[in-house]
Structure 1
């Protein structure tokens, strides 16, 4: 029954939207309880360089759950590369096969330990799904240890650097983009997807759709509201997007363009280290904690599922920790 549903959803994913697929999934779940379906036995033919059906179905399930297009593409590339470079059926893979694949991949590509462990996590997600779907009995990745990597602590912008960035922003779009990133703490993917209708200037709130299309609200301070109003008032296009390209056809601003704007602002500001949208998100979180926000409050604003992720920002604020220590330990 489950296999029939998976295959049906995989085929329909070429023609239906994610919302439509969810409805079909719900209908099939109910209908299939009333029938018995027996699969015809046929010879299995393996075609080289084709995507295994299991991977197709897995990606469809992730799409239904609301995974972003960029994340889906990352999962797809990772799994296709894996499938094309092993000589076995994906259902017959062992822990040693995965260890060997990761070792060969590391030697063949110039990647860090963190990127390599990301591949392991994608494979783990895929095989956990296959266990849940009763396609295989055990997840082989469970026996593959996480790859230890030296995590570099990203230092947030100092208050001086923050003001330097503000002063270096030249265009109305640059000013609005920087202030919105800092005030909301949004991910760059969330900024890309924002529409003008997501902004409520009366309440200073922004409706954001985060990972898995989960809705939450972020907030605009006075600076960001003023910068956004000026930018939107200057626009001559009819696009629904909050941030758009400067030239026709005024497409929604993409990840590369946003990163380029922030990089250029930092260069003009004379900041001698890489500055990118996620560093501004780090800065927002650290400044909130420094000024008295709790971890739970920062977690809610940033849209973190796990408190452990938010805890990273608390570790960054060593200066504040030292100040507290000096007050308490005489």
Structure 2
């Protein structure tokens, strides 16, 4: 037998207070519960009861208000279930888009994603959610819907093959996350073929251009010179450079631990001049480091800051084309190859899992790495 409404609502209020709900929230939740009471017939609540109430109660309301009513009703149904009612209704609380994306970011961080992946994937997922709104619920989204979304991107947003590849990668991860959250049970973006962009490597800087950039970096300051030398001496990615900590550097052995993509760490080596440049820079910023908890080597957090510095140095060096951090990395690899280094050595230094051209991965010993690496600096001598 159902307890008197006043007693039921009194217990519900205590339950909400126990869950630390704010007074305005409690007031709203109690009002929704009070309005739902006439729809309760005995100790059993089925989907039709809930559907009838929501149709009546949310008629003419905006999306946000409808969502608030659903959330409040879900809370009351959870309470009723704890009181022994037979609730045959899914009790999943609606998740707001921003909250969902915050959880997605936390999921990516837990997987070890950093840099552009961590910033771009949630943005691409947001574009997808905006397109999906009002068309279909995530639970029912299938392969044909995924194809329609990709068609929308190409026809209405002008997204090219490279952009489509990024979207598919991002949404494969997003639907993996949704499956963990029990929001979906399938991943339609893993059922479609991943678009492939035309791979075109940037035209590398010449050795003369690289020398000019290093000379200009030296004129600008110790940090700029140490950073440029380290980037070119190791070929690290921009995200890896930004995450480099002092504890990862061993200036005596001229090695550094690089925390790469997907949690794959590797050791890189650098020359004596680079080690000396970093030592001088560290002496300059020693007081700053001691006065703060900052342990990043080059004291910058964003890719944009790094990119602006590289472009400024290139402009001062008289280089008129677009110079990016990745172009420095590509130039490093190209110059190593020109110095006679083995492709597998370059693969190891760059932190690539496979060589796409040969599909072969061969372990390279540290001793052989250093031997091959010296070839570049014997040729350059600067």
TM over 0.5: yes
Task: Tell which deviates more after alignment, 192-201 or 123-132.
Answer: 123-132
Quick one: which of 146, 150, 153 aligns to 1:98? 146
How far has the Cα of 1:97 moved from its partner? 1.2
2:119 to 59, 73, 76: 73
* Structure-2 separation of matches of 1:50 and 1:96: 23
Deviation at 1:131, TM superposition (A): 7.1
Residues 52/193 of structure 1: CA separation in 2 closer, same or farther (3 Å cut): closer
Residue equivalent to 2:263: 213
Shift of 1:280: 0.7
Is residue 94 of structure 2 the alignment partner of residue 43 of structure 1?
Answer: no
- Contact 1:49/1:84 (8 A) holds in 2: no
Give me the whole-angstrom Cα distance separating, in 2, the residues matched to 1:260 and 1:225.
24
Cα deviation, residue 277, structure 1: 0.7
> For each residue in 1:247-266, what CA deviation from the matched residue of structure 2 results, as whole angstroms up to 9, or x when unmatched?
xxxxx353212111110111
Q: For this pair of structures, how many residues does the alignment match?
A: 264
Alignment match, 1:273: 321
Residue 254 in structure 1 maps to residue 290 in structure 2: no
Query: Alignment partner of 1:85: what SS?
Result: helix
Contact kept in structure 1, 2:307 and 2:325, CA below 8 Å: yes
Ranges in structure 1 where 5+ consecutive residues have no aligned partner: 1-39, 245-251, 312-330
**Higher deviation after alignment, 106-115 or 278-287:** 106-115
SS at structure 1 position matched to 2:90:
coil
Task: Work out the CA distance in 2 between the residues paired with 1:62 and 1:137.
Answer: 19
Consecutive unaligned residues of structure 2, counting only runs of 5 or more, are 1-86, 360-382
2:242 equivalent in structure 1: 192
Mapping for residues 126-141 of structure 1, pairs under 5 Å = 126-127=174-175, 139-141=187-189
Post-superposition offset of 1:145: 3.4
1:240 aligns with 2:295: yes
Contact residue 298 and residue 310 of structure 1 kept, 8 A:
no
Rg bigger for which structure? 2
CA contact (8 A) 2:138 2:183 kept: no
Give SS of 1:217's match: strand
- 1:304–1:116 CA distance, 2 compared to 1 (3 A): same
CA contact (8 A) 1:184 1:220 kept: yes
**Over aligned residue pairs, what C-alpha RMSD do you find?**
3.0
Partner of 1:183: 233
Deviates more, 1:57-66 or 1:125-134: 125-134
Contact persistence 1:184–1:301 (CA under 8 A): yes
- Aligned mates of 1:161, 1:310 — CA distance in 2: 31
1:50 CA displacement:
2.6
Deviates more, 1:122-131 or 1:146-155: 122-131
Separation (CA, whole Å) in 1 of partners of 2:295 and 2:180: 40
Q: Distance in 1 between the 2:238 and 2:114 partners?
A: 12
Shift of 1:191: 0.9
CA distance in 1, matches of 2:131, 2:102: 17
Q: Which has the higher contact order (CA 8 A, sep 6+)?
A: 1
**Aligned equivalents of 1:43, 1:137: Cα separation in 2:** 15
Evaluate the alpha carbon distance shift between residue 240 and residue 60 of structure 1 in structure 2; reply closer, same or farther with a 3 A threshold.
closer
